[in-house]
Structure 1
């Protein structure tokens, strides 16, 4: 019997929530930004980095698939790649070997040891130690910048300025983090502290604030709110929000002043730190528990579904992709229910999923949806792989991958959130949150209409793309994502759900980087299909066809 200590949940990065058009859930932009914040986001140059995708016509034989060999190759190809000195400016991030026998060496760009924000290069070897391709993004100007790289501001001062900028509450459950980076912005390279400030409350935030390391001024900022006893796991039961009877893995403990208690803490999976479900109804996090192993009360129902669905999503990634939890290293899968008051949303905060109870009119408790849980947990997979920046096209890709895996895991249809819509929503014609098969069946928020083609519906094609500013839905992360959603749906009609999942999972975890856009996604997904099923295969053709059909042709 393994000793476990149930402790309060650790609060950490990346809340991904917000108000959706007409009550739509799953993480639209939180609240309106100030004029200064809007100006800052509009001036972010998302194309500052040069995208790369170099595919060798004939695989280049190397001695070994190692970081040193990859650096030597990049040095040899520096003219082709428009790099001045890869050996001096690239730092190994990670080396991964996949089930196909391929090795992928990831590098971060640096200047004198300081990371360049967003820049990442991946060198791909096949099973014969031959280099087949290189992709990612590289910032040429940051390589040649002559800015003084000695900060005049301390890291602690930068944290205080960041907390003030985002109006963070005085008490934070999790300490902010700070890292010195070179930040390309407004056509210049800035030496900044990248500060992450995370908090719950009425206006939850997962802010990334870039503080000038010399002046202390805010260069840029954005909210990424996307979302001791011996314990023996045993079987319990519960009733879900929609009345389903669920078998649950729970734990029995003896607690001071309470005696024997049953907690929603599942330690039955080897190599996984646990599946844990917490209650936030009293505005503080407590493990969900009862004196009975049967969780049958109305108050229990959202927790029952959150706990049950978390295990289902965990099993999908393990069985289909060999992935052990969201980080592939067995991190605990943690959920929080009863968040907020009439809260029509759910989000991922970098450590756990958070579910509102809905207002009963437009939405019921959001943990009722398996696809909702899968959507939020896919954000966790993304955070621990491609880490797609939550703005503009990279943010739309972030949302699209969550929607796509939500629809793959809850495989009854190609709708998202159909199980969490309340009667009034259905009567108004809103039977789900989004549709991958027919995105245009639902309207976007009125504020978004002027930025599209005038139809005011979710886009299915690049001709309908919404050129939204950064202060509206973080530049369209929940709107333009439907174009990628539809491309995936069309591909699945040709090759099926299982193959689609394998291709998209490989693209997300092997090829995409934080600043990848729609064009990068096309290349990554076609390349992944070729890796898995061969160049010229039906699957590769279907992957390309899906993108062709939505107007992403290069």
Structure 2
């Protein structure tokens, strides 16, 4: 397959530091020549030891002319975290008139001695000091406009169902927060509205509504899908953790440390009926029926992914706070997809030709639950390069969970046709993806354009991950990737930022040899 020619290199723009030598990742421009808001800066600066929020703000203000930030006006502390290396990470919201700029963070990193090692995130150097618009809407108004825009009745989405264990489940989550919305150099006071529900269709709507006139500035249903390859549920016997109550065994796992539960439901092919559905049960604790196989795999692999993150990184569920992991199988009729809806997993049965039971692939489950991890950490915006990174990190951790081959979803794609897959980290071209910036697909940021090609251009960072893993091995590579995702990446990070984040993570954890391996991997895919 031939790839259309696109710009293959990124042009570095104005340095963040006047007269100073920025050692890595200066302000860049995107493929359309627009100035980025995301930066990753490393520079030797002689400052007093930084040991607190106050110290960080003093550091920034002493270098105000270099960062073009006023810490007292432009930054609001979100959290402070000290990691196992003794480094401290101060995460700030970028604010205008004390209102957070949407999808924007600034993170200052210090070593164990309080020396600033790097600062990265969305600086928004050109943002106004004040927002002059008058807020005419309140949160309730914004929510009403959001429901009206998507043409879904709140009552239809807000279904409460009593489970067989007597629990009530509400399938709707809705939030509305005042933010500053940024697009094409314009800053607008807006409400960020989130609508997550499972019916009448799986949805995770992310919407921005002008707080002055009610205009819908942006609306995306960012339910993240994954499809796989292979032969479906293989008939292998698994041990599953169950729960016994009233002479009945449930696929309900309470064994995970410091955690909620892992629970699995059956929707009986009711795509428009109430989710999460009904608990999968058996009177003899032997889940061997055909209709139970998809549930067994969903349940088992959810536990496997939990164990991977906990055993490898000490992470307790996808939110690191022990959140319940909920899965529903037999969703829809011949539904050729799986999805993380923002609060649970759903799995279709496939049509028997393109796919079989989609819960039957552990890398699909790992891919989707990694989207949940990303939602709670880097919060990579699901469009263009940040969206491609969102997809790529899910593929990469899908590989770490299932490292027998470089293929994604091979167990459930085209049953009866062994050897094919949905994607490949080692050979993205084989499945219609680019593996170098010279093949980058500059697609429109629309649903038809896959939000700027998030499932297409993810082949480039996937190939960089392949080179990195081959060079360093799985253990070092997974530690580097996890640290980059949870410490350094921010919502609008692009490929160049990802390279910088991975290099910095390699430096933090290991040293020069590993940094050079990461650098070479990204050189090999044309990201500099």
- TM class by shorter chain equals 0.7 to 0.9
Which of 429, 433, 438 is 1:440 aligned to? 429
Alignment of 1:312-351 (within 5 A): 312-351=304-343
Q: Does 1:272 align with 2:259?
A: yes
Gaps in structure 1 of 5+ consecutive residues: 1-44, 228-239, 255-259, 443-456
Q: Does 1:485 align with 2:469?
A: no
Alignment of 1:231-270 (within 5 A): 241-254=233-246, 260-270=247-257
CA distance in 1 between partners of 2:35 and 2:214 (Å): 23
Match of residue 404 from structure 2 = 412
C-alpha contact 2:425 2:463 (8 A) present in aligned 1: yes
C-alpha contact 1:147 1:189 (8 A) present in aligned 2: no
Which of 520, 532, 544 is 2:497 aligned to? 520
Q: Does 1:529 align with 2:527?
A: no
C-alpha contact 1:467 1:476 (8 A) present in aligned 2: yes
Show CA shifts across 1:494-522 (max 9, x none): 11111111101100000000010001001
Show CA shifts across 1:101-128 (max 9, x none): 1110100011222111122100001122
Match of residue 522 from structure 2 = 547
Alignment of 1:369-380 (within 5 A): 369-380=361-372
Match of residue 474 from structure 2 = 497
Show CA shifts across 1:389-438 (max 9, x none): 011110000000000000111010111011012336x38xx711100000
C-alpha contact 2:378 2:489 (8 A) present in aligned 1: yes
Show CA shifts across 1:335-363 (max 9, x none): 11111111111111222222111111011
Match of residue 182 from structure 1 = 180
Q: How many Å apart are 1:48 and its aligned residue?
A: 6.5
Q: How many Å apart are 1:100 and its aligned residue?
A: 1.0
Q: How many Å apart are 1:529 and its aligned residue?
A: 0.5
Q: Secondary structure at the match of 1:151?
A: coil
Gaps in structure 2 of 5+ consecutive residues: 1-31, 159-171, 226-231
Which of 139, 143, 161 is 2:145 aligned to? 161
Q: Does 1:50 align with 2:37?
A: yes
CA distance in 1 between partners of 2:45 and 2:212 (Å): 48
Q: Secondary structure at the match of 1:72?
A: helix
CA distance in 2 between partners of 1:541 and 1:370 (Å): 32
Q: Secondary structure at the match of 2:310?
A: helix
Match of residue 53 from structure 2 = 67
Match of residue 507 from structure 1 = 484
Moved more, 45-54 or 330-339: 45-54
The alpha-carbon distance between structure 1 residues 509 and 175, as it changes in their structure 2 partners (threshold 3 A), is closer
Q: Secondary structure at the match of 1:388?
A: coil
CA distance in 2 between partners of 1:490 and 1:59 (Å): 36
Q: Secondary structure at the match of 1:176?
A: strand
Q: How many Å apart are 1:91 and its aligned residue?
A: 0.8
C-alpha contact 2:175 2:195 (8 A) present in aligned 1: yes
Q: How many Å apart are 1:299 and its aligned residue?
A: 0.5
Moved more, 368-377 or 90-99: 90-99
Alignment of 1:383-422 (within 5 A): 383-422=375-414
Q: Secondary structure at the match of 2:501?
A: helix
Which of 123, 130, 136 is 2:108 aligned to? 123
TM-score (norm. length: structure 2): 0.86
Q: For this pair of structures, how many residues does the alignment match?
A: 470
Match of residue 220 from structure 1 = 218
C-alpha contact 1:278 1:286 (8 A) present in aligned 2: yes
Q: How many Å apart are 1:88 and its aligned residue?
A: 1.9
The alpha-carbon distance between structure 1 residues 212 and 129, as it changes in their structure 2 partners (threshold 3 A), is same
Runs of 4+ in 1 over 4 A off after TM superposition: 45-49, 58-61
CA distance in 2 between partners of 1:59 and 1:333 (Å): 46
Q: How many Å apart are 1:199 and its aligned residue?
A: 2.5
C-alpha contact 1:266 1:274 (8 A) present in aligned 2: yes
Match of residue 133 from structure 1 = 118
Q: How many Å apart are 1:49 and its aligned residue?
A: 5.3
